[in-house]
Amino acid sequence: MEDTTGSNPQSLGFTEKLKSWLSWSWTYVCFVWFGMVLIMVYVLWSPLKLQETLTSASVFLNTLTPKFYVALTGTSSLISGLILIFEWWYFRKYGTSFIEQVSVSHLRPLLGGVESSSTTGLFSSVNGEAEPRPSVSECKVWRNPLNLFRGAEYNRYTWVTGKEPLTYYDMNLSAQDHQTFFTGDTQQLRPEDAVMQKAWRERNPQARIRAAYQAIEINHECAAAYVLLAEEEATTITEAERLFKKALTIGKEGFAYTVVLIYSGKDMNLLVYIKRRLAMCARKLGRIKEAVKMMRDLMKEFPLLGMLNIHENLLEALLELQAYADVQAVLAKYDDISLPKSATICYTSALLKARAVSDKFSPEAASRRGLSTAEMNAVEAIHRAVEFNPHVPKYLLEMKSLILPPEHILKRGDSEAVAYAFFHLQHWKRAEGALNLLHCTWEGTFRIIPYPLEKGHLFYPYPGCTETADRELLPSFHEVSVYPKKELPFFILFTAGLCSFTAMLAMLTHQFPELMGVFAKAFFSTLFAPLGFFADKMESFMPSSFWHQLTQI
């Protein structure tokens, strides 16, 4: 084993040297090859009777009617148009050019370039060494704190529209979350827990519901089974709340043996999940003050579970109550430089500052007198929020249509923007003039962000993996918002120009055949003039007898 590992670096070093030598010599080889071709054409000009061949070819081309050229250019236009349509479809679906991707994948390594991959790459670290670039699969996906109920909300949307609002990737992540949250810490599971563990993995909703009833038959006090029924079988929020309350009663009875409130991992997760969903049920049923109290109690009881982002549920409920002072108090605790940000944190902070000045804000007056301190603070807060997630303003300003939010979101991505705008658009509309201030100022953010976009301004550089991850989280009928906007690939522009040019030639040849014939002759004579000039110079430089004797050899 040691000999093998010791020989690998040598073989790799030889391969790298060979590739670098080939890439260095490739340019010069091309020039030498092109020069040799020109010399061979000149040497074989007389023996192969190339002059007579060109003459006969020109005579043949002169005998062709204009209809042939119309058909030729028309066919070229049709083929390039089909290539353009395919390239455009591929770019819209996958965000890259098919021809460019094939070229980079297959031709670039042959030319000595660095092999690229769709998931990995190289970054330079601080000490100059190469570091692996984070792949698309490494983009951290978070549980949506305000995710809807499948049976009472997502399924009703499917019944009305016939569209699936959740992707399989999103539901698979939820199944993994449930297995992690609700599976016991010990290796030996109870029979009902084993059934529920299998139930979360089921892809068919009816199979999950049947497994939940099977777990209840095994143990009537299986709280996780009632949680699944509340999430997926209940068709109304009221019915879901009833099942969650039953699960909470069973859970409290099961937890009664713990005198000092030290739960196992499964018990604590299940209790927090049930209480949180009960608070969300109260919020949806209009009992907002009750929901706020439940969320505050939950945050006090489990202060170490900040990763669940319960404060985002609290912020939304407080905004519905218009308790802006309480909202500011929550932001003062969680909008900290050491804590991870979210669209809810950044845009709620911008909303509070915009609300203080938006009712009297006028773009014309601001351009005449300048911005006041409060207006400047509001604009800076909007710029900060837009830099964190640039997709949100189009949904708040209703420039893009909203869909049901997914169960998981990608921070700074389109999925997070959909989830935020779905619940918070009403709060922005309630603040008079806030949307007008956002409309006037949000695009100014992009003039602040330095270019290239690898450099950040207030936050870390915008990640490049958001588009692919958002396409996995959001349904196919939704047009994913992409930032930064990708420029059209070269081959799409090239095929579009080629299609337009050949179509124009076909039309002109059909309408003006004689004039286009004269133009074609003049064009080709001009094109081959350098070749004739080169041949004349070669004849004056070397006598013809030399080439005759060379050909005799």
Tell me if 436 sits within 8 A of 360, measured CB to CB. no
Residues 370 and 463 in one domain: yes
Residue 414 domain flag:
yes
> Counting beta carbons within 10 angstroms of the beta carbon of residue 35, is it exposed (0 to 12), middle (13 to 18) or buried (19 or more)?
exposed
Residue 374 domain flag:
yes
Segments of the chain with pLDDT less than 70: 1-31, 41-52, 54, 57-64, 94-95, 104-138, 183-189, 253-266, 306, 337-338, 445-459, 484-488, 531-532, 535-553
Could you tell me the sign of the dihedral formed by the alpha carbons of 368, 369, 371, 375, in that order?
Answer: negative
pLDDT for position 279: 93
pLDDT for position 191: 82
Residue 165 domain flag:
no
Cα–Cα distance measured from residue 91 to residue 127, given in angstroms and rounded to the nearest whole number: 37
What pTM did the predictor assign?
0.67
- DSSP per-residue codes, 400-467: S---PPPSEEETTSHHHHHHHHHHHHHHHHHSTTHHHHHHHHGGGHHHHS-SSTTS-SSSSPPPS-HH
Residues 464 and 343 in one domain: yes
pLDDT for position 84: 81
Residue 412 domain flag:
yes
Q: How far lies 427's CA from each of 396, 421, 528, in Å?
A: 10, 10, 71
Nearest to 362 by CA among 457, 439, 464, 265: 439
Number of helices followed by number of strands (H, E) in the chain: 26, 4
pLDDT for position 493: 78
pLDDT for position 349: 92
Q: Would you state the torsion angle of the CA atoms of residues 191, 197, 200, 204, taken in this order, to the nearest 10 degrees?
A: -60
Residue 136 domain flag:
no
Residues 341 and 370 in one domain: yes
Whether residue 484 is preceded by a cis peptide bond, meaning omega within 30 degrees of 0, is yes
Residue 432 domain flag:
yes
Look at residue 327 and give its three-state secondary structure: helix
- Which of 467, 485, 503 delimits the end of a domain? 485
Domain range for 506: 490-516
Tell me if 73 sits within 8 A of 502, measured CB to CB. yes
How is residue 535 written in tokens?
């041949």
Residues 382 and 461 in one domain: yes
Residues 431 and 363 in one domain: yes
Residues 427 and 474 in one domain: yes
How is residue 295 written in tokens?
């969320």
DSSP state for residue 138 in the 8-state scheme: G
Q: How many domains does the chain have?
A: 2
Residue 346 domain flag:
yes
- Which of 485, 508, 525 delimits the end of a domain? 485
pLDDT for position 258: 42
Residue 344 domain flag:
yes
pLDDT for position 421: 94
Residues 352 and 463 in one domain: yes
Residues 408 and 475 in one domain: yes
Cα–Cα distance measured from residue 498 to residue 347, given in angstroms and rounded to the nearest whole number: 46
pLDDT for position 109: 58
Largest Cα–Cα distance of the chain, in whole Å? 113
pLDDT for position 46: 62
